[in-house]
């Protein structure tokens, strides 16, 4: 348990010689101004002290003195209204920080487009990726010059490639991290912190796809086959054999060709169809660091099965390099709401 320093629990106000100021008058103002600002006698800040606060014979306030979570200027006069001292910019640092935390965490550039480079004052950057470059590239400032957490939120429907600076790494990988495009219910987000040297770490991400099986449905409508990019490295299968897809569109056509389905068609039987692929040799549930063999059935496509053994409506395609989380995959949601 951390120790705490005893605070100034019963303050006694003194003059320049260190002597108590009997019957002194303590005035409180807004920091930097001559505008009176109250102090309070209770921790809930409901009972204001007199302003000035009249000190007793020992130079002490007859009540406790609680401050608003903002800056103050204090002036002490003696009993004859002679000013003894003035101290400006007094505040409870912790209370002021806590009171402004929400505003601080939402400060930063909004609705930026591809090519934006984050700056040291950014705390929340929103990315308007729709209609621009695909992928939309957002560059991180050098980790060595960053000191604060940074959240990047994708509000558009195109994927966002969050790219570290120069030789910096992102969660240990010298590669970009892809935020998938937003949906009507989800705006994918990434919370990052710098180490002050050369690495950004991912503390949390919000990449949920409410339309996918295993998550609460967003509508009561029927499920359909879909092709929604959830991010990862570009799909470049290592040692690609003749006939394997070489583009994302090619992988989409190949995958749906296996199912004899097309995007937008009803998918009430999606679990059975995906399970049949798994039973036929399709890889199941990639692990970090595991490189799928494109020589295996289905050119190394994985199908994601949840802990209860049910297909989740997502697949992972093989890549040549690992993403920021160590997976050699690029993920697609193949089920959505009609």
pLDDT cut 90: percent of the chain above it: 52
Residue pointed to by tokens 């003195």: 65
Highest mean pLDDT among 10-24, 86-100, 286-300: 10-24
Confidence of residue 185 (pLDDT cuts 50, 70, 90): low
| The pLDDT of residue 171 | 85
Helix, strand, coil % over all residues of the chain, rounded to 5: 10, 30, 55
Which one is predicted more confidently, 166 or 205? Answer: 166
Per-residue pLDDT for 26 more than 90? yes
| The pLDDT of residue 212 | 38
What are the tens digits of pLDDT across the range 64-108?
A: 999 998 999 999 999 999 999 999 999 887 777 777 777 888 899
Which one is predicted more confidently, 174 or 257? Answer: 257
| The pLDDT of residue 258 | 93
Q: How does the average pLDDT of the chain come out, rounded?
A: 86
| 125 neighbors 152 (Cβ within 8 angstroms) | yes
The lowest-confidence range among 91-100, 144-153, 185-194, 216-225 is 216-225
Confidence of residue 247 (pLDDT cuts 50, 70, 90): confident
| The pLDDT of residue 1 | 44
The lowest-confidence range among 111-115, 174-178, 205-209, 317-321 is 205-209
| 116 neighbors 110 (Cβ within 8 angstroms) | no
Assign 102 to helix, strand or coil. Answer: helix
| The pLDDT of residue 338 | 67
Which one is predicted more confidently, 79 or 330? Answer: 79
- What separation in angstroms does the CA of 312 have from each of 211, 270, 296? 11, 9, 22
State the helix-helix crossing angle for 248-259 and 270-279, rounded to 10 degrees.
100
| The pLDDT of residue 60 | 95
| The pLDDT of residue 85 | 96
| The pLDDT of residue 308 | 66
User: What CA–CA distance (Å, rounded) separates 294 from 122?
Assistant: 42
Asked whether the bond before 135 is cis by omega within 30 degrees of 0, the reply is: yes
What phi and psi values does residue 226 have, to the nearest 5 degrees? -140, 175
Per-residue pLDDT for 131 more than 60? yes
User: What CA–CA distance (Å, rounded) separates 331 from 229?
Assistant: 6
Mean pLDDT of 165-181: 87
| The pLDDT of residue 99 | 76
| The pLDDT of residue 328 | 86
Mean pLDDT of 216-225: 64
| The pLDDT of residue 200 | 95
């Amino acid at each position: 348990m951390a120790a705490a320093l005893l605070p100034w629990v019963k303050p006694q106000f003194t003059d320049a010689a260190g002597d108590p100021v009997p019957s002194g008058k303590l005035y409180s103002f807004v920091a930097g101004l001559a505008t009176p600002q109250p102090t309070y006698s209770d921790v809930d800040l409901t009972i204001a002290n007199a302003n000035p606060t009249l000190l007793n014979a020992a130079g002490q306030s007859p009540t406790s003195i609680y401050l608003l979570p903002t800056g103050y200027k204090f002036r002490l006069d003696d009993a004859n209204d002679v000013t003894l001292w003035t101290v400006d910019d007094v505040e409870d640092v912790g209370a002021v920080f806590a009171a402004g935390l929400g505003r601080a965490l939402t400060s930063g550039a909004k609705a930026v487009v591809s090519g934006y480079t984050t700056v040291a004052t950014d705390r929340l950057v929103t990315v308007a990726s729709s209609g621009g470059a695909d992928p939309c590239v957002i560059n991180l400032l050098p980790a060595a010059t960053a000191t604060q957490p940074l959240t990047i939120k994708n509000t558009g429907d195109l994927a966002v490639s969050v790219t570290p600076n120069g030789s910096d790494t992102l969660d240990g990988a010298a590669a970009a991290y892809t935020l998938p495009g937003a949906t009507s219910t989800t705006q994918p987000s990434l919370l990052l912190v710098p180490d002050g040297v050369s690495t950004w770490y991912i503390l949390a991400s919000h990449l949920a796809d409410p339309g996918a099986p295993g998550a609460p449905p967003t509508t009561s409508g029927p499920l359909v086959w879909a092709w929604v990019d959830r991010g990862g490295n570009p799909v470049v299968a290592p040692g690609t054999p003749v006939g394997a897809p070489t583009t994302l569109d090619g992988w989409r056509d190949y995958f749906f060709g296996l199912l004899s389905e097309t995007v937008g068609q009803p998918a009430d039987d999606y679990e059975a169809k995906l399970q049949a692929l798994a039973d036929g040799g399709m890889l199941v549930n990639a692990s970090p660091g595991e490189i799928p063999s494109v020589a295996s059935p289905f050119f190394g496509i994985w199908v994601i099965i949840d802990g209860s053994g049910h297909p989740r409506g997502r697949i992972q395609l093989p890549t040549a390099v690992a993403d920021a989380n160590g997976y050699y995959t690029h993920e697609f949601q193949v089920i959505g709401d009609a």
